[in-house]
Amino acid sequence: MNDVILVVNAGSSSLKFQAHEIQGDKTLALILGGSLTGIGGSRPAFKVTDASGECLVNRQLEPAQAKDLGAAQEIMAGWLQERIPQPPIAVGHRIVHGGPKMSRAVLVTREILDYLDELVPLAPLHQQNNLAPVRVIFEHWPEIRQVACFDTAFHRTQSKVVERFALPQEYYDRGVRRYGFHGLSYQYIASRLREILPEVAAGRVITAHLGSGASACAMVNGVSQETTMGFTALDGLPMGTRPGRLDAGVVLWMLEQGMEHDEIQDLLYNGSGMKGLSGICNDMRTLLASNELSARLAVDYFTYRTAESIAGLCVATQGLDALVFTAGVGENSPEIRAQVCNHLEWMGIRLDPAANAANALTISQPDSRIGVYVVPTNEEQIIAQQTYDTLTGVL
């Protein structure tokens, strides 16, 4: 077997991974990919497929087996050691926040790890979990090189006007600025569009990454111009458990009411968004199937605010040639896509109902002024490529 790059994408309740083999022509070939979901829950599951999609593992686990991220990592590492005969040449990690210093993927050193640890307050749901596998590998396999790939890096092309808040200069100098997130997903969409729809990729594109976390990004010729998320992953579109855009005065009011920092943080990160509005859950499928008025309110709020933000992003691109839906909800929910696009019919968007229902690549009608597309994302592939590029740049 040739050298292998392992990709690790650690979330709050899931651990996704892929293994890519470096071919003789220096391209990367996917060998396998898997996930361990439901970490810390009552029904964790471990699933792995090979490059052709054939199932290699698909089993339910006992809750104690995946009680936390550390236990999940042990399951993943144990299985990979049996399947892949030699250690990977490198491990690439998704790191949500790179702060003001990180504009590209980097080899992880102890100093880099310490810096990234300082950014945990800016992404409390994600950063600590992203860094946990890095620490484990440092401890047990210090000889394996690790590469940090940042969700914020793709947006470093944005202008100073877009990046700033209307705050004094000292706050910008201390790192208080709009970073944007989901950059690995947007970079994949930009590269994928160049492969399958080059004429679209060269134009003005807004991609809506709609999942439990949600944002939208305006691109021109594949370069980020503006995005909905800002200083943290709380901003912008409403999400599964996060409110999205929120008047800062609401937080001041909460403080005046005697709420503590941790209580407010838990509310904003874990108790708001679709879960908070509906009072039911944060799963869009459950909300769409529900007859409860609060569920309908949550769905309507999500689609309205998403459409509103898409329209606003057109200021950065000075028009729109294509709208792309991606991520879990964006790729798999015809109803959500239809509702968002209904709010944007005034822009000349015309959906093809049959194509939309089939999750086709092109879901707009031929006479639609703006093309509408569904493109599945693949953050892990971008992480693998960035890891390889970083290695070849330092070898």
Q: Please, what are the domains in the chain?
A: 4-157 (3.30.420.40), 197-374 (3.30.420.40)
Question: What's the confidence (pLDDT) of residue 136?
Answer: 87
Tens digit of pLDDT for each residue in 228-258?
Answer: 999 999 999 999 999 999 999 999 999 999 9
CB-based contacts of 123-127 (< 8 A; 24+ apart in sequence): 123/96, 123/97, 123/181, 123/232, 123/233, 124/265, 124/269, 125/12, 125/233, 125/269, 125/270, 126/11, 126/12, 126/96, 126/97, 126/233, 127/95, 127/96, 127/97
Tens digit of pLDDT for each residue in 73-86?
Answer: 889 888 988 888 88
Catalytic entry in 25, 114, 151, 173: 151
The pTM assigned to this predicted structure is: 0.92
Question: What's the confidence (pLDDT) of residue 395?
Answer: 37
- Residue 151 falls in the annotated catalytic set: yes
Question: What's the confidence (pLDDT) of residue 92?
Answer: 97
Using 50 as the pLDDT threshold, list the residues of the chain that sit under it. 395
